[in-house]
Each structure stands twice: as structure tokens, then as C-alpha cells.
Structure 1
């Protein structure tokens, strides 16, 4: 009997539009659509019987209602498995695809497979539940992602045992097993191999973090130009550049010449914390008021005439790195001496 597969995608891959259609509400269509057309071909004894679509912004900003609605649409097709994405390094799409896949597994009791770049925040949040296949950074790697995802789907639907090492998906959870040697002996053996320059496989891979050397201290604060940068989402009232509340796809740069504080005319676009107090006075997130006092008192040279802002909530590391490099380059070109960088 042919197995039934449902595919979840966002508004872009459904061919509806880009960011201007990110508020699209959930809907469903029979059969494959968008990348589902490519995924459907390699499936063995299975076919995509339906596609569920939802805009990235709508899903992430209304997850409490959008997720159950998407789940009901998926259930209506009585699937044996669900595919979500692949989302590559699109942060909001990754969060949505991961949430859908995780909910399908926990609530419907059927397997769900998606694909993401390793730095997608959805991978970090949902890899312990969903089957997440590693992909490239962008849709340019779609040709490699499709066979990787469909291959895993075929094995799961065939009832075969799958493992991260053998089948290439990110580890979901620890697996208990009876080892032949006790832990202390295994650890000593690994240490000996390491000291001898031999290959070994750790039983507990450690996360890798960027190390950033601290900048030297300012020698002349009274003549220094200080800039303000934040991932706390401070924006002019109305959020003119529509910086997303989660998984931001951009940063904003706003002129503050003559602006004494952020109390009036500014707010926070951040979706990861209660912004009530920030909306009352955004200086609580980005202290322009205090800097102006220091400027007037001659304790610093001057405040740089532009502040930079984005939302850190769910934003991919690669995107954050890109924003940081672009902002830093402009600040260096303009002779800024130091930056006050705030989060939430």
C-alpha cells in the first residue's frame, strides 16, 4: 500500500510571494507543491498527498493558534509521515518547520523529517525531537537536500532502523546501551589515543563557540566617539523598516542627531521578551539618555549620530555575524572609538 506523506512549506516556496506575503494564514492544497514536486519523485511506495502552507511571520507571531490549525490540516490527510521544509538557514522558516515536525511527532505519533543548516535556530530548538537533515546555507543546496531528505524518509517508512551516524541527520537524543568497558577505562583509552596523535571519537561532543579577543581599553574617553548598537529591537515608533520580531532578516540604522533620549517616539520590535517597559522608555534597553548626559558633561567626546538595531530573538548565528560585520565596517570607516552593545 502506498504510504501517505504531507508536506509543510512557507509562503515563498508555495510561490505566493516573499516577505510581503509572510503574513499568509494557513491553508492546504492536495498533492505536492513547490519543492514537494522534487521530493515526491524519489519517494518509494509513498507520495505527497497534500501540502500545508503558512507564512513565516504569521506562524511565528501567532504560534499558539497557527500550530494547532496547521496540525489539524495535516491530520485531515491521515498521513504516515510529514516532511517540513527544507528551511536551510531561514530562521523563521526553520522555527516553523521545526515546531510543526516536533508537534507531529509528539501529538500525532508519526515521524516527521525536515532539513536545516546547522546554525538555523530551529535546529537548536527542535533537533532533540524531529529528524533534521543537515543542508547548505541556502536554497542553492536544494539538489543535495532533496535526496538526503527523501532517502531518510524512505528508510523510515520502510520500517528500517536509522541512526545519525549512518543516515546523516542531527542526533535527536541519547541512546542507552550496555558498553563492554566501564567509562573510566574508555576515557583513559581516548586520552592515550589523543596523546599519541591517533584518531578517536568522543562520546560527548562539546559545542564550539567563537572566541573574540577583547579590544584594548580606550586611552582618551573625553575625546572618544561612542556608538549605540542593540539586538534588543529598539526602533522608531511604527517600526518603519519592519524588522521582524523573531529571526530578523535585517538590521536598521537610524539617525539620532539632536535626539536626547528614546523616551518618546521609540519602541521595541522584539518578540522574545515583554516590551512594556521598553515601549514606555526605550532608554531602558539602549541608554541614549545617559550617554547624552555624559556628552554634555564632557566625560565623553560625542555620541555617534546613528544607532544600529536588530532583533536577536531566534536570529541565525550566520545572519547575526553578517549584520555585525556590516555595522562594524561602517563604524570603523567613520572613526568610531567604542560601542555600547546591548541585548535585552
Structure 2
């Protein structure tokens, strides 16, 4: 059990002080001591530990060279031998959150306790909580930097010293899909009846099993007269132009892309890539019309079955998508379509 906890901290290029999006392609580098938020982290440690080194990488470089970054960070961690690895906090930044979650997972695989922090709506949260990574809940932006680091430090110290941890609610981390048997001294039947009575009386109560609820989405009204309507193609299949110029990820997308299909009778193999990581893309690469049926819609357009097909194809990746991110992406695409006068959408699924 170390008296002075030795920490290695991971930051992106922005928080590392290199720069914003213009410096997002910064490769992995290692720096002695604390940088940027790491100095506030050391203050939160209050003499219980120190930041031995800071690893830094641009979010763009991470997104394009993930496995290379992972290998380099693993090598640095094996050389630096920290008692605990901290990453971020990433707040609601998607690429940063994905990097923090993955690198914490890799640190754990090396036997190094790891802690990160991010907003619950960060795509990295959904992806890496299921991998049992310790993710401290944060605010959406860096306005919440100080309390985020204080909670991360408190959890990191406990993990480095192998102290027993309380529940996710007690320790401030997001639930990790882990259940443990905890003796209460009260039989389950009695606890259930007590909870039911509190609910019936309108008193506060807490379920022992988290019940996730989802917003009800009413179905769109039926298309009454497609021959008179302006339709658009929208897909979550990850079908992108060759080379993926908009850098859509294979999973946990936080943005969308738009491609012109004006004058095209069909999508031509070799001109499109399928980056979605949730299905075998072999058939899509052989014939992209299998996932985005432009050929069939053009035939319907010629026959007068549909009135007009919009000249733009809208694309995102649904694989492991955050509900909040998908809701935002859908609203953004819908706003663009309404502005253009589009009346209905064909949404082929994978």
C-alpha cells in the first residue's frame, strides 16, 4: 500500500496546452510531471500522491491511429510503473472520452488501477461502463473541472491503496454493470415489502435494481400520397464515400455526414466504404445499394411511385450509439430536411 501514490495522467492536446482542433493530429508524447489540469489534480491530492508523468495525444490522431496509440501508451505505462492511471476528465467530448475509456481499460489489463471521468452522455461512457471501467460522473463541460478531479482523486487513491469501495452512488462513479452480494441483515422479502409500502405512501424509496426507462417515440404518420411527395434517403449504416472523408467512426458516432447523389442512378462499388462496425460489410462493399437502395428508389421515381428523391444522402453510424447523441443527430438532419422542404424519409436499417 503506497503512502505516496504515483500517478500517470493522460490528456488530449487541448488540455495538454498544445492547442485546439488545429493540433488534433498531435501524436503520443510523454512529459515529466503534471500538465494543465494535472496541476489542479496534484492540488486535490493534498500530499497523498504526485503526478509522475503526463501522456498526451491529439484526439484526431487517436481517432485515426487508435491501436498504435494503445500500444505506445501500454509501453509507457510498463516503463513508468504507476500505482494508478488517470485519464481526463473528458466531460462530453466524444473522441476524448473514447480515448480515456479505452486507455483505462488497457491499463487495467496491465494490472494498473485506472480511473477516468466523463459526462453520462459521452459515448465513451456507454461503451466502457459495460467493460467495467471506473468512470467518475462529471458535468458536461470543463466548468466542472475542479469537482471532477476531486472525485477522481478520491477514487484513485482508494484504488491505488486497494481499499474497499462503496457503491457507485457512494463513490461517485457511473454504474459498471457489476452486481455484488451485500449482507443487509434484512431478508429480501421484507425489503421488497418495505419498499412497496413506501412507494404506496408516496415516501422516498430506492430500488435495489436500476430500472432504465426510455422515451416513448410515436410512429411517424403514414405517407398518404408518395407520388406527390419529396423524399430523402437517411441511413445509420455507415456507408460513406471512399476514404471516409468525414471520419465517421465504426461505433459510438457523435456526428453525421452528407453526400450528393444528384444524377446517380445507383451507388457504384468501389466508390463507397462501409465503416459501421456492427455488421459484416462484405455485401455492402460488393453492392452499396444493398444497404442504401438508391437503385430501387430511382426506379420508383421513374415509374411515378414517388414524386422526387432528394439529391443528398445523410449518413451516420448507429453502432453502440448513445441515445442522446442519436437524438441530437436525428434532430440536426431533420432540421436540414425540413428547411429544404423534404416531406418524408426512407430510413434503411442494417
TM-score (norm 2): 0.87
Decide whether the 8 Å contact of 1:263 with 1:281 is kept in 2: yes
- Give 1:282-321 correspondences, 5 Å limit: 282-321=288-327
- Give 1:52-201 correspondences, 5 Å limit: 52-108=55-111, 110-127=112-129, 129-157=132-160, 160-163=163-166, 164-172=168-176, 173-201=178-206
Shift of 1:272: 4.7
Instruction: Report the 3-state secondary structure (helix = DSSP H, G, I; strand = E; otherwise coil) of the residue aligned with 1:235.
Output: strand
Which residue is 1:338 aligned to?
344
Decide whether the 8 Å contact of 2:267 with 2:295 is kept in 1: yes
More divergent stretch after superposition (145-154 vs 270-279): 270-279
Taking a change above 3 Å as real, the CA distance of residues 151 and 136 of structure 1, as seen in their structure-2 partners, is same
RMSD: 2.5
Q: Which runs of 5+ in 1 are unaligned?
A: none
In structure 2, distance between residues paired with 1:167 and 1:280: 50
Shift of 1:73: 0.3
More divergent stretch after superposition (205-214 vs 331-340): 331-340
Which residue is 1:12 aligned to?
14
Taking a change above 3 Å as real, the CA distance of residues 178 and 146 of structure 1, as seen in their structure-2 partners, is closer
Taking a change above 3 Å as real, the CA distance of residues 317 and 140 of structure 1, as seen in their structure-2 partners, is farther
In structure 2, distance between residues paired with 1:287 and 1:195: 53
Decide whether the 8 Å contact of 1:60 with 1:246 is kept in 2: no
- Give 1:184-263 correspondences, 5 Å limit: 184-263=189-268
Decide whether the 8 Å contact of 2:127 with 2:320 is kept in 1: no
More divergent stretch after superposition (128-137 vs 80-89): 128-137
In structure 1, distance between residues paired with 2:245 and 2:174: 38
Instruction: Report the 3-state secondary structure (helix = DSSP H, G, I; strand = E; otherwise coil) of the residue aligned with 1:339.
Output: strand
Which residue is 1:324 aligned to?
330
Shift of 1:155: 4.2
Instruction: Report the 3-state secondary structure (helix = DSSP H, G, I; strand = E; otherwise coil) of the residue aligned with 1:293.
Output: helix
Shift of 1:200: 1.2
Decide whether the 8 Å contact of 1:92 with 1:247 is kept in 2: no
In structure 2, distance between residues paired with 1:3 and 1:10: 23
Shift of 1:23: 4.3
CA offsets per residue over residues 164-205 of structure 1, 9 Å max, x none? 232211233212123433333322332222222122110101
Shift of 1:156: 4.0
CA offsets per residue over residues 34-62 of structure 1, 9 Å max, x none? 22122122113201010112333444554
In structure 1, distance between residues paired with 2:306 and 2:27: 50
Decide whether the 8 Å contact of 2:5 with 2:157 is kept in 1: no
More divergent stretch after superposition (243-252 vs 253-262): 243-252
Shift of 1:71: 1.6
CA offsets per residue over residues 263-291 of structure 1, 9 Å max, x none? 25333344554434323332222111111
Shift of 1:115: 0.2
In structure 1, distance between residues paired with 2:128 and 2:32: 27
In structure 2, distance between residues paired with 1:32 and 1:286: 49
Aligned residues: 343
Structure 2 residue 53 is matched with structure 1 residue 47: no
In structure 1, distance between residues paired with 2:318 and 2:28: 26
Instruction: Report the 3-state secondary structure (helix = DSSP H, G, I; strand = E; otherwise coil) of the residue aligned with 1:165.
Output: helix
Shift of 1:328: 0.8
